[in-house]
Structure 1
């Protein structure tokens, strides 16, 4: 799985130009069909059909699905919707309040929060390292009330740090940036991410 920008036309242009590289061996990626179509829900409950491009590395032969930056692996809601739920939980909101605010089933929101909580310390460490590595003059966030809140603060802090080095990152939300650097697996069973996405969106 490799995270790319939201615009599929731009992804095709980058593929043709040889700008997308394999996250395993740094070889060039070429077109190799399409992955299964998905339907994602946005913040208003609107639906968006997505059919990710499938690619194959010309060097190692491994195939990779190019997941749009707004999508998380195995989730039906866009990353910013899930990120809003995580941020609300970090400030102390309860699951029912969050679910009502976002217009999502309580069990769906509870699943997001439980999955994130189960790996909160790993997420905190990953994004704190990214914050320090990416920043021009990094300042790690202070300790929050909970490990969950610490992890959310690290995600946001890493985003701020990346914007100091790459200002264009500031045009997207912290949750889209989190998708980009984890390859969309923020809430997937495959956590932790082994490597930062080499083909920045």
Structure 2
């Protein structure tokens, strides 16, 4: 089955909702606060955050390569306090770089780009 670009494999929520949770965690919010803010069960949000955290270094490296390959004059994001935050920053940086080369990309969220680039597998058990 083909999935639309705005969802991730085996996830009910839109990529933007999951992305909002990841951004909030990178900014220092706790899982309960994020769950309340998004109106999602705590265990669901905890699962997203754990899955992303397990692959944070892999995700950071992958999206940094996307940023460098797609950018017209790429500038990798500055190092953050955690690998988790670095990975979130790399996704945002790749989105900005792709938008600088292909303006239409800027019309979608960074998390839709992440879903498209990973073929919906950003939080999948096996990552590209």
Query: TM-score range with shorter-chain normalisation?
Result: over 0.9
Structure (1 or 2) with the greater helix fraction: 2
Following TM superposition, by how much is the alpha carbon of 1:76 offset from its aligned partner in structure 2, in angstroms? 1.1
Provide the TM-score with structure 1 as the length reference. 0.63
Ranges in structure 1 where 5+ consecutive residues have no aligned partner: 1-64, 194-201
Larger relative contact order, structure 1 or 2 (CA cutoff 8 Å, min sep 6): 2
Q: 1:125 is matched with which residue?
A: 61
2:70 aligned residue (129, 134, 137) = 134
Provide the TM-score with structure 2 as the length reference. 0.99
Q: 2:34 is matched with which residue?
A: 98
Ranges in structure 2 where 5+ consecutive residues have no aligned partner: none
Map 1:45-194; keep pairs closer than 5 Å. Answer: 65-191=1-127, 193=128
Structure (1 or 2) with the greater strand fraction: 1
Quote the RMSD (CA, aligned, Å): 0.5
User: Deviations along 1:154-200, whole A, 9 cap, x unmatched?
Assistant: 00000000001100000000000000110000000120x2xxxxxxx
Paired residues in the alignment total: 128
Structure 1: 4+ residue segments shifted above 3 A: none
The structure that has the greater radius of gyration is 1
